[in-house]
Structure 1
Amino acid sequence: MLSQEDMKRALQAYIDGFAAGDAAAVSDLFAADAVIEDPVGTPPVHGRPAIDEFYANAIAAGSKLTLDGPIRGSHGNQAAMAFTVEVPAMNMRIRAIDVMTFGEDGKVVEMRALWGPDDIES
């Protein structure tokens, strides 16, 4: 099983990829058959080609993430982080919590982003 530290490092790499404007570094954290639901309640994004496009678009919009607290581990295969995403291209700020589930190989197999209409500022 993946260690809590490994999962936390992966989530920090996610933040760092956004900071560097490196969409490939972010999407490389995901398994080939991973699923993203961002936000929860919207149609999921399935598989690496769609995930690559999802993050390429987010980075192209200038999205930057700032942690709102420490990255959290678990006793299982999930880790989470609360952060604020600034999207200059859309003149908005979103406060979110991402919960990521990891496979045995250390890749993210599922990411669920928790945020709703009340978590958006423009």
Structure 2
Amino acid sequence: MPTQEQMKSALQAYVDGFNSGDPAAVTALFADGAVVVDPVGDPPMEGRAAIEEFYGNAVAAGAKLSLDGPVRGSHGDRAAMAFTVHVTGMRIRVIDVMTFGADGKIVRMEAHWGPDDIEH
């Protein structure tokens, strides 16, 4: 099982990768067979190619992230963070819940946000 330190460090690296405009740094945090659900309720994106395209597009759009509080661990293989996505003309308030493999790579990402969490 990944340690709390591994999971929290990975989520900080996720934010840092976004904010430095480096989608490769973000996607490197994911396992090869990972699943991304963003937002929860949309169909999942599965596999390296889909995840690279998703994060490449998000970074190309100029998205920047600011944490709304500290990254939270768990007594298991998940960690979560509340943050705000700043992208041209809007802000989206999000909570991401990440599930990690034993090697510390993200195997599942679920982004929790809905229509009421978008500010124009």
TM-score normalised by the chain length of structure 2:
0.99
Residue-pair matches, total: 120
User: Equivalents in 1 of 2:105, 2:50: separation in Å?
Assistant: 16
Written as runs of structure 1 = structure 2, the 5 A alignment for 1:41-56 is 41-56=41-56
* Shift in Å, 1:71: 0.2
Name the amino acid aligned to 1:84: T
**Which structure 1 residue ranges, 4+ long, deviate > 6 Å from structure 2?**
none
* Shift in Å, 1:121: 0.5
User: Equivalents in 2 of 1:116, 1:107: separation in Å?
Assistant: 26
RMSD: 0.5
Name the amino acid aligned to 1:50: A
- Provide the residue aligned with 2:16 in structure 1: 16
Name the amino acid aligned to 1:47: G
- Provide the residue aligned with 2:114 in structure 1: 116
> Structure 1 regions of 5+ residues with no counterpart?
none
Written as runs of structure 1 = structure 2, the 5 A alignment for 1:1-122 is 1-88=1-88, 91-122=89-120
TM-score normalised by the chain length of structure 1:
0.97
CA-to-aligned-CA distance 1:64-120 (integer Å, 9 cap, x gap): 0000000000010000000000111xx111000000000011110000000000000
> Structure 2 regions of 5+ residues with no counterpart?
none
Q: Percent identity?
A: 70
User: Equivalents in 2 of 1:2, 1:42: separation in Å?
Assistant: 28
* Shift in Å, 1:42: 0.4
